[in-house]
Amino acid sequence: MRILAIGDIVGERAVRELGALLAAAAKKYAPDLTVVNGENAAGGRGLTPALAADIFAAGADVITTGNHIFDKSAIFDRLDADPRILRPANYPAERPGVGYCIVPVGGVRVLVGNVSGTVYINDDSLASPFLTAESILRRNASDYDFAVFDLHAEATGEKLAFARYLDSIRELRVAAVWGTHTHIPTSDVRILPGGTGYVTDLGMTGPQNGILGIRSDIIINFTKDHLPGKFEVADGQTALEGVVFDVDPETAKSSLVRRVKL
């Protein structure tokens, strides 16, 4: 099976152009399952029901998110109603939504999980992503054939440690782990010793001008002079960034991991 994981959508224009980009990706890579991080679709921070619907219409099978998922209260009811829109599972249980879903794909049951890192993330409500993911996998062991995880995290070391931890417990059948959040694609696509496909960060899907998809002047003022400002999405050509994982469902191992940029 082929899993296409797409990096953080930044802004409404990227959502509008996602259909054409995913159609091009489908023609080139023919994925069986497409997972898109919708963390920054709403003007760079959060997600709305309408944008989620547009992302699904563009070709996503599952939407993962991260630390901005609760920025737009309009999404709360949709999180509870649609299990294909995930929020990090290690937020408190009383928050809206769920952190994983099991998707049937051609007779294969794929568990798609979403957790948040805690290193450099200023949120004391987050539980351990390691223990949360392991608990999900053990509770659902008889209900899925292999699992993939989006770890939305700041620290590169935490992302790799998370992937190596799950890779070391082969009975959990984790076939792929990818990182999101930093919007910078990393070159470390690899297959870990146990067979888990891995990349530290998928990158982003958004405008190429600006800084991480946001207007350069706003980010420069914030980082250079510590002046706050409302995020505004940059202009420039939209690029889609992500990774393709080829997975053997019988062994729950990745056989090939490739970068995608369109």
User: Is residue 229 over pLDDT 80?
Assistant: no
CB 4 within 8 A of CB 25: yes
Domain boundaries of the chain, sorted by first residue: 2-261
Q: In the annotation, is 68 catalytic?
A: yes
Superfamily of the domain at 2-261: Metallo-dependent phosphatases (3.60.21.10)
Look over the chain and give the mean of its residue pLDDT values, rounded to a whole number. Answer: 96
First to last CA, the chain: 21
Task: Note the pTM of the prediction, 2 decimals.
Answer: 0.96
Instruction: Dump pLDDT digits (tens) for 74-133.
Output: 999 999 999 999 999 999 999 999 999 999 999 999 999 999 999 999 899 999 999 999
Q: What's the order of all strands across the beta sheet hosting 204-207? A: 8-9, 204-207, 238-239
Please report the DSSP string for 192-233 in residue order.
-TTS-EEES---EEEESSSBTTB-HHHHHHHHHS-------B
Per the listing, tokens 């990818």 go with: 178
Residues 68, 152, 181, 183: which is the catalytic one? 68
Rounded to 5 degrees, what angle do the CA atoms 110, 114, 117 make? 145
